[in-house]
Amino acid sequence: MKGTHSAVFRDPRVWLLATFAGAFGIGALLIASTGGDPWLAYQALVQGAFGSGVALSETLVNATPLIFGGLAFALAARGGLFNIGIEGQLVLGGLVAGWIGSLPLGWPPFLHVPLSLGLAALAGGLWGLLPGILKARNGTHEVITTIMLNYLSFRLTAYLVGPSGPLRSGPLPATAPLVAAARLDPLWSGTRLSGGLLLALGLAAWVGFGLFRTRAGFRLRTVGSSPGAAQYAGISVSKVWIGAMVLSGAVAGIGGAIEVLGLHYRYYDQFSPGYGFTAIAVGLVGNNHPWGVVLAGLLFGALNNGATAMQTLANTPKDLVQILQALVIFSVAAVAGLTRERGGK
């Protein structure tokens, strides 16, 4: 009699749905308390996120960088590392892509695009290498070093496209526009959705295969779950840490590059509204599983995209969506805590 009940209550998916409903419920109360109509607001949110082909494509555009960032976070997290430096790695990747993409090399797209992406990955990876080495050699906590490297990255990129920066072109704090060969054009005319989304999905599949089928992925997950057991099994914990940080940074760098090559067509200073930070939430909500990250990226992309419609159609402040996002993160964290508690030892 008790068994079936407790089985239902122990299922994390049930909890997740319940807490999501709770999050939107609290959101509705907030909308109502500020004089708005929750029903209208949520209708606008859904309309804005999924209401038309263009709306849907914009949701996907919003989701793309979050999926890259979420995968970057998940890679580090599976190795037991908390990479807060995704934003810095992503911005740097964007800058490198913008710079390389603006060079008139005269190369065809199938060479120029991979070159830009590759160098962006390299830049992001280098930005991950340093905290990785410091962690492996000295035990310096990666949270501290990656936060610091974020600032370094922000200032460095701001300088490079700043008033007297070497990469500045024109009146805006930006690089020169991309040459045509470096652009990732929209998949469908009338939308802004580039092939970057496909790359993100491919990368998710690759990360999934890597983590759960390969030796390297096994080592990574072992170190992330139990450094002591890893050491006693002959796995080099420091190598794994360095590798995980480099990979994480590289994926973040590619994410930034995709934004530049497929959306803005040049690097603008502060082009990222904090994708790298939202990515942490995306990783956590997606349980650091590649497909979970894709779903969480879509959820957050839809929320971001729908927020605009909510503001214009229902006159609800856009900030409310951020509160909603916070409530979603909160509920996921609570569910994770609850199911862990109930799972017992």
Partner 1 sequence: MRQGIPAAVEMSGIVKRFGPVVANAGIDLRVEAGEIHALLGENGAGKSTLMAILYGLVSPDAGSIRIDGIPVRFRNPRDAVAAGLGMVHQHFMLIPRFSVAENIILGAEPQTGIHLNRRQVVAQVEALMRQQGLWVDPWAKVEDLPVGMQQRVELLKALYRGSRILILDEPTALLAPTEVEEFYQILRRLQANGQTILFITHKLQEVLTVSDRLTVIRQGRTVGSCASAEATPTQLAEMMVGRSVSLGGMVAPAAVGDPLLEVEQLLLRSQPTPESDTGYTKLGIQLQVRAGEIVGICGVEGNGQTELLELLMGLRRSPVGTVKLRGQDISRASLLERRRLGLRTIPPDRHRQGLVLNFSLLENLLLTHSEDPPLARRVRLNYALAQTVAQELLHRFDVRASSTRPPARTLSGGNQQKWIIARELWGDPCLLLAAQPTRGLDIGATEFVHARLQETRDRGCGILLISFDLDEILALSDRLLVLFQGQIAGSFSRGQVSRQTLGFLMSGGQP
List residues binding partner 1 (CB under 8 A).
2-3, 6, 213-216, 218-219, 221-222, 225-226, 228-234, 345
Tell me how far apart the alpha carbons of residues 158 and 291 are, in angstroms, rounded to a whole number.
Answer: 34
Using the minimum distance from each CB to partner 1, give the nearer residue, 18 or 233.
Answer: 233
Using the minimum distance from each CB to partner 1, give the nearer residue, 136 or 260.
Answer: 136
Facing residues of 186 across strands? 194
How many residues would you count in the chain? 345
In the complex, minimum distance from the CB of residue 226 to partner 1, in angstroms, rounded to a whole number: 4
Angle among Cα 39, 42, 46 to the nearest 5 degrees reads: 135
In the complex, minimum distance from the CB of residue 336 to partner 1, in angstroms, rounded to a whole number: 13
Using the minimum distance from each CB to partner 1, give the nearer residue, 34 or 226.
Answer: 226
In the complex, minimum distance from the CB of residue 222 to partner 1, in angstroms, rounded to a whole number: 6
In the complex, minimum distance from the CB of residue 201 to partner 1, in angstroms, rounded to a whole number: 21
In the complex, minimum distance from the CB of residue 117 to partner 1, in angstroms, rounded to a whole number: 23
Q: Give per-residue burial for 322-337: e unless 16+ CB within 10 Å, then b.
A: eebbebbbebbeebbe
Kindly report the backbone phi and psi dihedral angles of residue 268, in degrees, each rounded to the nearest multiple of 5, phi listed first: -105, 145
Tell me how far apart the alpha carbons of residues 148 and 151 are, in angstroms, rounded to a whole number.
Answer: 5
Using the minimum distance from each CB to partner 1, give the nearer residue, 14 or 233.
Answer: 233
For residue 152, CA distances in Å to 55, 58, 89, 141, 299 come to 36, 31, 10, 17, 31
Using the minimum distance from each CB to partner 1, give the nearer residue, 13 or 215.
Answer: 215
